[in-house]
């Protein structure tokens, strides 16, 4: 299976890595490092060289407790970087945003995918995404980044996240977005406590029932701090292991900061899978 990301193809017959490029002053693990377009271009190029199959550019931090950013500020951070990268990179660019104006401007500047942690719930987002023609990742979040970790509660987290994603897929289809353009993501760490994140990872295979490619973001997340007592810069090993566990349960795209290490691990998973099919 291949996704057409504004003319650049993304092969989903094997698991792929989405490299994280935050052009924000305050993201939890790399805030402020890649705001200047030249630094962002160099980092994106390095992630491609390390095997990233797409690059996710975000101008508003979604870490727990993050303050919202104005539309003008987000546009000013993201669009110059997309414009600089789109003609240079061999892989698609995805834009990590929940704002319709940023989605539209980023796709006009050459982005080939929309990654929305709010699953196109902002007013006008469904229409902009439909008209953009590019694939869209719909993520589950309980609450909003500023407050989502205060007291997230679920009866059955797997069933509730599954039901939410089912409803958002239906809303997209009703708005005229073809199912073939959609990906889904359970949203690790977005309004979830450690037990919720572990249950979602353990039962990720449940999301196959949606019949859509599954994207996950586990890289350096707080769940590893909660479980293992590790600081952000000590979370490489659990991030890579979690990526492997997710792929073994059917994830097709893994969003990661440490691209080279994640690509190596997923190559091994794929090689073992292929050897078992011979």
Active site residues: 221, 255
Beta bridge partners of residue 11, listed in sequence order: 2
Tell me the closest approach of the beta carbon of residue 75 to ligand 9MG, in angstroms. Answer: 17
Piece of 84-92, 98-106, 120-128, 184-192 that binds ligand 9MG (CB under 6 A): 184-192
Stretch that binds ligand 9MG, among 42-50, 66-74, 183-191, 232-240 (CB under 6 A): 183-191
Residue found by looking up tokens 């019949």 in the block: 211
Among 28, 188, 207, 224, binds ligand 9MG (CB under 6 A): 188
Nearer to ligand 9MG among residue 87 and residue 164 (C-beta): 164
Query: Rounded to whole angstroms, how far apart are CA atoms 42 and 211?
Result: 36
| Distance between start and end Cα atoms, the chain | 20
Instruction: Find where tokens 């969003």 sit.
Output: 255
CB nearer to ligand 9MG: give 74 or 96: 96
For the CB of residue 248, give the shortest distance to ligand 9MG in the complex, in Å: 18
Q: How many residues bind ligand 9MG (CB under 6 A)?
A: 13
**Which residues within the stretch 205-244 sit at the binding site for ligand 9MG (CB under 6 A)?**
215, 217
Closest to ligand 9MG by CB, 8 or 255: 255
- Rounded to whole angstroms, the Cα distance separating 22 from 81 reads 10
Q: Would you call 86 helix, strand, or coil by DSSP?
A: coil
Q: Please name the helix (run of DSSP H) or strand (run of DSSP E) that holds residue 75, with its range, or none.
A: helix 71-85
For ligand 9MG, the binding residues in 109-138 under the rule CB under 6 A are: 115, 117, 137
* H/E segment holding residue 101: helix 100-108
Contact residue for ligand 9MG among 98, 109, 112, 185 (CB under 6 A): 185
d(Cα 209, Cα 52) in Å, to the nearest integer? Answer: 27
Restricting to residues 46-65, which ones interact with ligand 9MG according to CB under 6 A?
Answer: 58, 62
Residue 92, Cα to own-chain centre: how many angstroms?
Answer: 13
CB neighbourhood size of 93 (10 A):
26
Alpha-carbon distance 253 to 213, whole Å?
Answer: 8
Among 82, 85, 120, 139, binds ligand 9MG (CB under 6 A): 139
Binding residues for ligand 9MG, rule: CB under 6 A, are 58, 62, 96, 115, 117, 137, 139, 185, 187-188, 215, 217, 255
């Amino acid at each position: 299976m291949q996704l057409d990301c504004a003319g650049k193809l993304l092969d989903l017959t094997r698991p792929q890595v989405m490299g994280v490029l935050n052009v924000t002053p305050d993201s939890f693990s790399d805030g402020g490092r890649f705001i200047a377009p030249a630094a962002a271009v160099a980092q994106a190029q390095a992630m491609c060289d390390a095997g990233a199959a797409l690059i996710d550019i975000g101008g508003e931090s979604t870490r727990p407790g993050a303050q919202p950013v104005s539309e003008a500020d987000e546009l000013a951070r993201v669009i110059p970087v997309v414009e600089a990268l789109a003609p240079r990179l061999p892989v698609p660019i995805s834009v990590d945003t929940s704002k319709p104006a940023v989605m539209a401007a980023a796709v006009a500047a050459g982005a080939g995918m929309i990654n929305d942690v709010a699953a196109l719930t902002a007013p006008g987002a469904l229409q902009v995404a439909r008209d953009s023609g590019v694939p869209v990742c719909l993520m589950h979040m309980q609450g909003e980044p500023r407050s989502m970790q205060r007291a997230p509660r679920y009866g059955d987290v797997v069933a509730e996240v599954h039901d939410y994603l089912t409803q958002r897929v239906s809303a997209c289809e009703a708005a005229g977005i073809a199912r073939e353009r959609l990906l889904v993501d359970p949203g690790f760490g977005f309004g979830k406590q450690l037990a919720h994140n572990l249950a979602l990872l353990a039962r990720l295979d449940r999301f196959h029932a949606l019949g859509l490619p599954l994207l996950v973001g586990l890289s350096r997340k707080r769940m590893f701090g909660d479980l293992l007592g590790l600081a952000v810069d000590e979370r490489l090993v659990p991030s890579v292991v979690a990526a492997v566990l997710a792929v073994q349960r059917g994830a097709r795209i893994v969003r990661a900061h440490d691209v080279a290490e994640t690509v190596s691990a997923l190559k091994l998973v794929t090689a073992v899978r292929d050897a078992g099919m011979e």
